[in-house]
Amino acid sequence: MTLIKPSILISNTFDPLSRDEEHVMKLYQTIADLNYYNAIETRIIFNTQVQKEFADLATLHEWYVTFWVTGNLNNLAFRLNNLNESERIKAVDQVKIYCDLAVKSNAKAIGFCSGKTEGHPLEEQEQFFKSVVSILVHARKYEELDIIIEPLDSSSDKRNTLGDLETSLSFFQRINSSGLNHDKRIRCCIDTAHFALNNDNLSETIKELSIYSDRVHFANAILDPSHIDYGDKHIAIGDPGFLDKGYCIELYEQCRTLDFISKDTYLTIEERVLDQQKMFEKESEHREFLNTLRAI
């Protein structure tokens, strides 16, 4: 039976607050005071003083910290799947810089996505594979720094090279069979919204990818293309999306029966909260639901 530990996606639940480095430590301290989460998923920290303060807090609370840099790369228009070799290398070099920054904050993992497709899936997969290998070599300079890859939806909204279940599976199979992942540093993040948007069967997705993965994001989405909020909008669990609490319970029960890549397996509720008045309320709602799941 896999023990699933709670994680919080700070950069989504506290989206606006998490961007404000000047005041962000107050937020992290509040989360630390809850004494609840084993893992923190958030955005990279640039300010050296804040890095230091965050590193101390993360050590004290033994957080497994992941910095997601997908948004940073998008903002720079960098894609790790770029067919243009010099542009791809620029993106890789940027991720290496983020790795160095992440370690300063005592992060244990860096997370990113493949990048939008330009319509050449096989060549892009090849480019992304090369990028991951190069980032892996860099990450191994550090005693502890995992690489988390999140497949996004491939044809509906984010249109990423990686991808639907089939593409994701062949990518992670290749990583493992090449012998590159003997220390299990490369891990998959299974986000329910993206696979549902791909029309992949979620139960099958979780089952097939679990051996490559150390975490699941319970994220909801509207799957009807004619709906105004169709796509990856990070909506709350429940109507009008496909993922209600009952479905979460079903998936959670399945997760517990599977062997993930790591004995520390994390679960988070992914919802983007932009209203500053509601962020803490939402966090406690998510925590309460995580508690319900963990009590099963």
Give me the residues that bind Zn ion (CB under 5 A), please: 191, 217, 270
| Complex with Zn ion: residue 208 or 270, whichever CB lies closer | 270
Would you give the distance in Å from CA 32 to the centre of its chain? 20
Of 210, 129, 201, 132, the residue nearest 165 (C-alpha): 201
| Minimum CB distance to Zn ion smaller for 138 or for 283 | 283
Q: How far is the CB of 267 from Zn ion (least distance, A)?
A: 11
**Closer Cβ to Zn ion, 79 or 194, answer by number:** 194
Segments in the chain forming alpha helices (H)? 10-13, 15-18, 24-34, 48-60, 70-75, 85-104, 121-139, 165-177, 192-197, 202-209, 245-256, 279-294
Report the residue number, 71 or 121, with the smaller CB distance to Zn ion. Answer: 71
Helix H or strand E segment including 65: strand 64-68
Closest approach, Cβ 221 to Zn ion, in A, equals 11
As to burial, measured by CB atoms within 10 angstroms (0-12 exposed, 13-18 middle, 19+ buried), residue 260 is buried
Q: In this structure, what token pair is assigned to residue 252?
A: 């959670």
Closest CB to Zn ion among 25 and 196?
A: 196
Smallest separation (angstroms) from Zn ion to the CB of 268: 8
Token pair in block for residue 212: 């490559």
CB of 270 to Zn ion, least distance (A): 5
Shortest distance, position 219 Cβ to Zn ion, whole Å = 5
